[in-house]
Structure 1
Amino acid sequence: LDHYLTSSFASNLIEGVIRLAVLLGYMAVIGLLPDIRRVFAYHGAEHKAVNAYESGAELEVGSVSRHSAAHTRCGTAFLLVVVVVSILVFAVLGRPPMWLRVISRIALVPVIAAVGYELLRFSAAHVGNAVVRTIFSPSLMLQNLTTREPDESQIEVAITALKTVLEADGVLETAAAGAAD
């Protein structure tokens, strides 16, 4: 790109958009594989269970199944935010010599990931704000590529997994402890 563009900002921006297109294309293509569709259905079940828990709903199949398969703190959303932040950061840094470009990109990965994580946390905490919701809506839309509507057995697995984690964290009383009381 450097040979065709005089602006390093534009060159980095185009490179970032290509990187984003590759990521989206990859997610779309692997989502066509039957085994991956099944994994994506478990991913949707996980989101439904977490959404149900966070809304105070009963962790039962009927209740959980009515919740959304999208979640504001999804790892897919994190990937998108990290890619967008990296596009912006690298566009601003210009086009140093290749050796420096490689070193700076490696060195900035933890910083970009940390910024992306904080942005995702901020968006989840301010999901009621229309501006925040609009800015982060692509991350929720992207989850259409990485989640599928789960069946009841997948929802049961998600509920069991969530309850196990909540019990291990001491947030949810175990069934055995409740029976002993």
Structure 2
Amino acid sequence: MPVFGTFKSNKVEADKKGEVKPHIGGQAVIEGVMIRNKDIYSIAVRNPDGNIEVVKKDINTPVEKYKILKAPFIRGIVALIENLVLGIKSLLYSAQIAMPEDEEEKKKRKKSEKNRSDIFIFLSMIPAIILGIVLFIVIPNLATHYIGVVEKTHPFVFHLIAGFIRLAMFILYILVISLLKDIRKTFQYHGAEHKSIYCYEAGKPLVVEEARKYKTLHPRCGTSFLFFVFFIALIIFPIITVTIETLYPDFVNFNLALRKIILILSHIIIALPIIASVSYELLKITDKMKNVIFMKILIAPGLFLQRITTKEPTDDQLEVAIEAVKAVL
């Protein structure tokens, strides 16, 4: 969720041969790719010796047990949480495989994998979540205030400007990190993931020669999802502000600092789940109707951002992505 990956969909469709194929998703990890299907996920990583290590694990999801979690707008929040947890697990695993280690270190790694709990995974997510909130909610909000736009008198203008600041910061962020050698390699694996998924969805043989032909841009990509998040936030954030002021008219008279704290918390606690769920549904609709002109217009900005977050992979990287796809079929 990942930014460097593709959302799995419950949708199934027929390929050119008429075979029904379930959608798969995944993400780039360190020196490799994670791919997930409905019930299982795989991680393929190239180790320091040059060999590809593949692990396959079950996905313990409550979705099949509680059908309500498949309902529109609810499923988006569930999918986001599942992908975040799965993404962190995959990144931690790939980091251990990709780094050189002796036999003693391997034993310690296997022991730590056995003892690692979901609490540890959750704690690993906290710094990234805090950084995201500060960069893309707190700073744009405060920056817009200090350039002289008053939220309580012009809430929609305020959040329109804050939204553009938020998007600009995100683009600047991914441009800067793309200059790092290791991140650029991850972006190449991101492109390899997309190409291998395209190859699978087209019903072609899962070999490097076939996968190489496809694009690195994919409409179900997490980067496109993030663009929808920024877009929907332009609408939801001012609605939350106006709703609070309507329910509590005295809110406009609150101390500025207290008012900002309440608004930012309401954006995090109330608005973000709504934005995530709506963005997920929009991602599914645009993927299903991607050949409709209006949908192509909606998809275009996300595909543009993917030109930064995906790079053309090498054949060796495609080989890793293909092994990850094969493992979940």
TM superposition score normalised by structure 1: 0.86
How big is the shift at 1:48? 0.2
2:324 — aligned with what?
A: 161
Letter in 2 for 1:138: P
Following superposition, the deviation at residue 94 of structure 1 comes to: 3.7
Q: Which has the higher contact order (CA 8 A, sep 6+)?
A: 1
Q: Percent identity?
A: 40
After the TM superposition, which residues 101-112 of structure 1 pair with which residues of structure 2 at under 5 Å, given as runs? Answer: 101-107=263-269, 108-112=271-275
Residue in 2 that maps onto 1:131: 294
Bigger fraction of residues in strand:
2
State the shift of 1:135 in Å.
1.7
What is the identity, as a one-letter code, of the residue corresponding to 2:323? T
Asked if the contact 1:2–1:8 (Cα under 8 Å) also holds between the matched residues in 2, the reply is no
Q: Report the CA distance between 1:87 and its aligned residue.
A: 2.0
Letter of the structure 2 residue corresponding to residue 112 of structure 1: I
Matched residue SS, 1:84: helix
Match of 1:100 in 2: 262
Mapped partners of 2:162, 2:192: distance in 1: 35
Q: How does 1:30-69 map to 2 (within 5 A)?
A: 30-69=177-216
**Worse-superposed segment, 92-101 or 19-28:** 92-101
Task: Please give the secondary structure, in 1, of the residue aligned with 2:206.
Answer: coil
Q: Unmatched 5+ residue regions in structure 1?
A: 167-181
Where do 5+ consecutive residues of structure 2 fail to align?
A: 1-143, 246-258
> What's 1:22 paired with?
169
Give me the CA root mean square deviation. 1.5
1:59 match: secondary structure: coil
Instruction: Find runs of 4+ consecutive structure 1 residues off by over 6 angstroms.
Output: none
Q: Does 1:86 align with 2:233?
A: yes
* 1:74 paired residue among 221, 228, 238: 221
TM-score (norm 2): 0.48
Distance 1:124 1:87 in 2: 22
Give me the whole-angstrom Cα distance separating, in 1, the residues matched to 2:186 and 2:317. Answer: 10
Aligned length: 166
Mapped partners of 1:10, 1:60: distance in 2: 51
Residues 150-180 of structure 1, C-alpha deviation per residue, up to 9 Å, x if partnerless?
Answer: 00000000000011122xxxxxxxxxxxxxx
1:176 aligned residue: none
Q: Amino acid of the residue matched to residue 28 of structure 1? A: L
One-letter amino acid of the counterpart of residue 80, structure 1: F
Cα distance, 1:8 vs. partner?
1.9
Q: Distance in 2 between matches of 1:29 and 1:102?
A: 27
1: distance between equivalents of 2:260 and 2:317? 47
> How far is the alpha carbon of 1:102 from its aligned partner?
2.1
Structure that is richer in helix per residue: 1
1-structure distance, mates of 2:159, 2:303: 25
Q: Show CA shifts across 1:125-170 (max 9, x none).
A: 001111101121111111001000000000000000011122xxxx
**Displacement of 1:59 after TM fit?**
0.8
1:98 CA drift (Å)? 1.8
State the AA in 2 paired with 1:71: H
